[in-house]
Each structure stands twice: as C-alpha cells, then as structure tokens.
Amino acid sequence: MNRLSISLHRAALAFAACAALHAGDTRFWSQGEYADFEKGNVKKLSLRSDGLVTLAPELREVFDTSLAYLWALGRDSKGTLYLGGGTNAKLFRVAPGGKGELVAELDGLAVQAIAIDAKDRVYAATSPDGKVYRIAGKAKPEVFFDPKTKYVWSLAFDAAGNLYVATGDPGEVYRVAPDGKGSVFFHSGETHVRSMALDAQGNLIVGTEPRGLVLRVSPAGDGFVLYQMPKKEVTAVAVAADGSIYAAATGGKLAPSAPAPAPPIAPATPAATATPAPTPPGTTPQITVRPPTPMPAMPLPNAAGGSDVYRIHPDGTPERVWSNPLDVVYAIAFDAAGRAVLGAGNHGSVYRIETPFLHTLLLATASTQVTALSIGPGGRLYAVTGNVGKLYEIGPGLEREGTIESDVFDAALFTQWGRLSFEARLNGGQVALTTRSGNLDQPQTNWSPWSAPIAEAKGAPIASPAARFVQWRATLGANAEGRSPELESVAVAYLPKNLAPRVEQIEITPANYKFPAPVTFLPTGAQPQSLTLPALGKRAAAAPSLNLDSPTTGTPALQWAKGWIGARWLAADPNGDSMTYTVEIRGEAESEWKPLKQKLAEKYYSWDSTAFPDGEYRLRITASDEPSNPPADALTGQLASEVFTIDNTPPRITALAATRNGGKLEVRWHAADALSHVAKAEYSLDGGDWTLAAPVTRLSDSLALDYSLSLDAAPGEHTIAIRVEDHCANQATDKVVVR
C-alpha cells in the first residue's frame, strides 16, 4: 500500500473517532503514530517518528565491566576497543574477538575520555582533579600531562600528533606536544569546555557550559562562535563528512540576569600553527560527558528539558534536527551512510537522524544511558553505557524477529471485538498479529491467552472473548536476505454492549414560567448539515469519552407565561448515545399515565397547566437510546417525579371589614386557598400604591391566614382595596368603603 493510501486510511479512522459515535456504531481503536507505538512494549524493533515500525539493528552485549558507568570509548587501528569509566577510574581493553580485560586502575573517580594516537598508544583522562595518562602496550600507565584543573572532559589528536585536552572550571583547551609539554591553547571564557572534535581542516569544534556555545577554533587558536544553543550545556559535538557540525545540548537556559563573561577571540598564549590535514587513521576524537559537580552514584548532566540536537551546515546555517523533552544526548557518531546516530538516556536509547524532520528510535539497551559511540568496520557501531557499564555491538545486520505489545485499550464497557486489520509493506518478510482480552486493567494474570495469529493485512475477526480491555501483539520477521517488513498501523473494530440510559433526577420548575419551544429531533439516519474537524496536527481520540457519572445540567432561561408549568431532568447514557425523551403525567389519584410529549430531544419541557384540573400530579420521564441503535436493540430508562401541585384557582377573600376608630381605620379580612399557601397580601388606600400587608401570625406559611391593619386616615370617605396571591401567583381582589 502506498503512503497516500495509508494516510487516507488513517484519516478515515480519525474521522470516525471525531464523529458522534453511539452504541450501535462500530468503533475503531487505531494506532499508527509514534506516540501510539512508543507506549507499547517494544522488543528488537525500531520506531520511526512518522509511525513506521521495522526490525531493529542487531544488538549484542560484548563485555560487562561490572562498573556503574562507562564514559569513554576508543578504537585503535587493529580493532581493539578501550573502555573507561568509574567508579575507581578503570580502563579496559576488549580484543576484536570480544575478550575483555582490565588494563589499568588510575587515580581518580572515573576515566572520562580516551584518545588513541597514530602508534596505537592509549591516552586516558581522569576526573575530578583530572590528569591524562598514557598506556603503551603492557607498560605501566604514566602521567602524560597534568593540566592542574578539576575536570578533563574530552581528548583529541590533530594530524601533527598534538593532543588537545578540553577542561572544566575553568573552560580551557590545552595543546600538548608529543613529548608531553603543553600549555593553554584557547580560553573559552566559559566554566567548562564540555565536548570537542576536530574537522578536516584541523579546526577544533568545542561545546561549552553554561552558555551553550558551539565554537570553531582555528589551528592558530582563534575562536569564533558558530551558534549559541537554546540550552546551556553542549554535551556532544561531531563533524560529518560534508563538514556539517552536529551539536547536542541539555539543561535549562542561562538566566539573562547572570550572563557569563564573553569568550575572548584571541588565543591565550602564542601557539604554533598546525598544518591542516585530514585526521589520521586510528585517531578517535571522543565525545563524553560528566557533570560540573562529581556525583559518584550517578554523574549525569543537567537533564532539565531534555536535549536538542542542531546541525550547523557548512555555510554556517543552524537547523534543529531532533528534540526530546526527556531524553539526554551524551554522544554523536555517524553510521556507514553518514547519518547522525545519537546515544541517549535515561532509557538507554539509540536514535538515528534520517532528515531534519524525521528520526528513528533504533533500539534501547538494558542499561539506562548510552554514553559514548564509536564506528567499527563493516558498518558496525559500538556503544558503552551507564547504569550499568557495558559494551555493546550494534549491527550491521537486522534482528531476525521482533515484537511490539500495544498498550492496553480500555473500551470503558463490556465490549464485543470485531475485525483486526493492519497496514504493512511485507518486503518478503512477515507480519502477524495476535490479541488477548480481559476485564482487569493489567494483563499479567486472568486474561485470555494470546489468540491465533492474523497474518493477512486485510484482517480477520478477533478470536479473543468479549471484555472491557484488549491488547494486540505484532511480530515482525525478516525475509531470507534479512530485509525488514514495515508496519504502518493497526486497527481494532469493536462494539460496546448497549446499556440502558438513566434518568437520575426530575425537577418541577416554578409555576407560570415556560421554556423556549423545543427543537424537533433529528430523525435517525439524517445527516447533520455541518461538521467540525479537529485542527490539523491535533490527534483525535480513539473513542468517545464515556460520561457515566456527570450528565449535563444546562437549561435555557425560563420566560413568564401565566398558567404554564415545566420540568427539567438529569439523564445519562453509559454508551454516550443520543437519547429522546417521553414526558407523561398522572394525577395522584389516577392509575394511568397520559402522554404530554414524545421524541423530545431536550432535557426540559413546559406545558399549559390550565388544561388540567387543580390537584396533585406526578411526571414520568422515559429516556430512550433508539436514535443510536437499531430498534430491536434500543433500551430505555425512566423515573417518576415527586408529587407536585397544579393550582390555577385564586385564593378566596372573606370577612373583609373596615371601621373608623378616631383617626384610624381598622381593616380585617381572612384569606384562604384550597391547594397552595397564601404567599402575600397587599392593600391600596384610596387608589394609592399597593403596600405589603403581613398576616396576624407574621408568617405566610398556611393555606388560610388572617390579616389586621390599622391605617391613618383623614375624616371622610375612604376606599381600601385588598389583593391576595397564592404560591402559584393566582390573585384575588376585593374592596371595602368606609364613610
């Protein structure tokens, strides 16, 4: 299948995930992105950043030093490898056949850097209180150079046999002649020169801390800042065959309030000019790392914010080609095809840069950090690690077989599994997928066994039993020539069991108010006239989020309408289905429910209560998920309300009387209602404003209340109007005249 078809396949699955899904709709759990596969358990497979899964390069453990960390790696002209680390600054030698032995135990915490000269003599630098030792054959190690600094971070030879020593605190580079005499060659103005390499013209490329500078230093000792990295500590630099410079940096940015001093451009001391020439065979400039402060248990650089890797093109243009918020890059090398390879932690990962926009997680070692890399013959790659310190050989061939177990998919409900399908280019190899399912979120125990493999890309029905959780496992096998198949994506069709909706609460709204007119429900099968797609670059969810406990409660504002009454309710469907509602009413003394409204889409309804005699009633709300399911599979849930009152009859005013008592008018009356409490009473004297009148008891809490007023009034005729209102806003009026 071509890339366009695969993209369309993924887009279709994403569209299905974005659209409204219901219990009756087949759903798809689709995985085809790097982030999907990264969450799985990957063994002997590589993951490309666009989601391509292939067999990983062969990984073979060559030698276990039993050290906590190895920091340095070098290879002489005969193929012998030298490894250095700590604690207890040990240097090991591994012959081409793979046999390893301890060569020397030097003074210091760890062997931090290794370089090998044209005569295959080994130079090992220790830290802290760094010194450079020379080991020639089986001779006893001797101190070759002591820079009198705390840290030695990197070593490299030029074509003339001069050894460059990168140091920390202060960040300087020493040049040491073959006789062991050396002096400061370049002041960086930084606290540390953390990494170093030589280009084909004999220029030093150095990376610093804390300002994250990448500098080119000429054979005359003149420095030029090529780029200031966004991060503070340049842990590795390397020069590609085309002259491009790759640099990796980690750690937070340097605070602008505390800038480091500017690096000098002139050399610190006069130095002889070296003749530019290619690096001689057997010379292995080494890029290794350690923190500014010695930490015997875990000497790692500042990992805040992960790492960035930039490529500085031969014309000086910087370009970010890799970034990771968690992994820290310790080493950079180049494979046989000239692609940059990164050694990283803290997952023991090896990455390869394919393009500025594409990278591959080649493999992960059993150790925590990959700290140094070296290219061997025939396309082999050697790596040393930290926590624990081992030597690995990578490639040149691929693994014959590898597997990936997906993360566990939670369908949220008891679910029937459909067809499993995948997209892959076999390239003569094999891809087979199996599944297992269960009702626990951890698949270690009490799940079904792995099913029989599905090897056809068009897929087959999943044989695993219906359950809430499912997991798939893909096995990739190479063809006879060792070529890998390429897995693009995996899709699992599923259908959750339909569960009945729930009506959880009914509330009767205040009398004499109504909701806006309801919207006609969209018939089953009708298509919406608009559809909102997710923003480009945003991933759609694999399945709708099922809300089992928090149904929506929003309702529109009520409007005044005398004689109307309404209700609103809470309802939820475990499958996320669309629902319609039937509203029914029944008098408290009645036995049959009478329909008010059917196929209502909203969770609220109002009706004219004047068509019903005064009395006590109940509502029943029935929720149906039929819009999202075939009629035979549709389910309902219902709930009856508490008793509520319909009262459209005003209260009665009786015994209204008024008498004059000197300058006062004494007014009395009795108010009563058959169903509702008397809410309030008001009076108006001679057509004046209505004024609230309190009952004799001061509390408006009864069906019948007595009122008594004493009003100031001038001599002559007066009219007193009385208005009484019950809790349903029904009003009665009366008047009395006093002469």
Whose CA is closest to 574, among 24, 23, 16?
A: 23
How many Å apart are CA 177 and CA 636, to the nearest integer? 90
What's residue 537's pLDDT? 56
Output the pLDDT for position 24: 65
For the chain, how many helices (H) and strands (E)? 2, 53
**Tens-digit pLDDT profile for residues 513-546:** 999 886 554 554 455 555 566 665 555 544 444 4
- pLDDT for 457: 87
pLDDT of residue 286: 34
Maximum Cα interatomic distance, the chain, rounded to a whole number of Å:
137
- Cα–Cα distance, 326 to 313 (Å, whole number): 26
Is 369 within 8 Å of 386 (Cβ atoms)?
yes
The whole-angstrom separation of Cα 340 and Cα 317 is 17
- Residue 252 has what pLDDT? 81
Structural domains of the chain sorted by starting position, each given as residue range(s) with its CATH number in brackets: 25-56+402-496 (2.60.120), 57-398 (2.130.10.10), 502-646 (2.60.40.10), 652-738 (2.60.40.650)
Residue 625, C-beta contacts closer than 8 angstroms, at least 6 positions apart:
22, 23, 498, 500, 501, 573, 575, 577, 578, 579, 634, 635, 636
Residue 531's pLDDT is 56
CA dist 432 and 454 (Å) reads 5
Residue type, 274: A
Residue ranges of the chain whose pLDDT lies below 50: 1-20, 257-299, 521, 524-525, 541-552
For residues 263 and 182, is the Cβ–Cβ distance under 8 A? no
Contact of 339 with 261, CB cutoff 8 Å: no
Quote the CA–CA distance of 413 and 27 in Å, as a whole number: 13
User: Helix, strand, coil proportions of the chain in percent (round to 5)?
Assistant: 5, 50, 45
Beta pairing partners, 657: 668
Q: Phi/psi of residue 191, each to 5°?
A: -70, -40
In the chain the first and final C-alpha atoms are separated, in Å, by 104
Rg (the chain; Cα; Å):
41
Q: Encode 313-367 in three state secondary structure.
A: CCCCCEEEEEEECCCEEEEEEECCCCCEEEEEECCCEEEEEEECCEEEEEEECCC
pLDDT of residue 261: 39
The structure tokens 């005969």 sit at: 78
The two beta strands, 467-477 and 401-405, are: antiparallel
| C-alpha to C-alpha distances, 578 to 25, 309, 520, 629, 654, nearest whole angstrom | 12, 49, 14, 9, 54
**Rounded distance between C-alpha atoms, residue 454 and residue 421, angstroms:** 8
Collapsed DSSP state (helix, strand, coil) of residue 513: strand
Integer Cα distance of 291 and 69 in angstroms:
13
Q: Which residue from 223, 207, 204 is spatially nearest to 266, judged by alpha carbons? A: 223
Q: How far apart are CA 91 and CA 115, in angstroms?
A: 12
pLDDT in tens, 539-590: 554 444 444 333 445 789 999 999 999 999 999 999 889 999 999 999 999 9
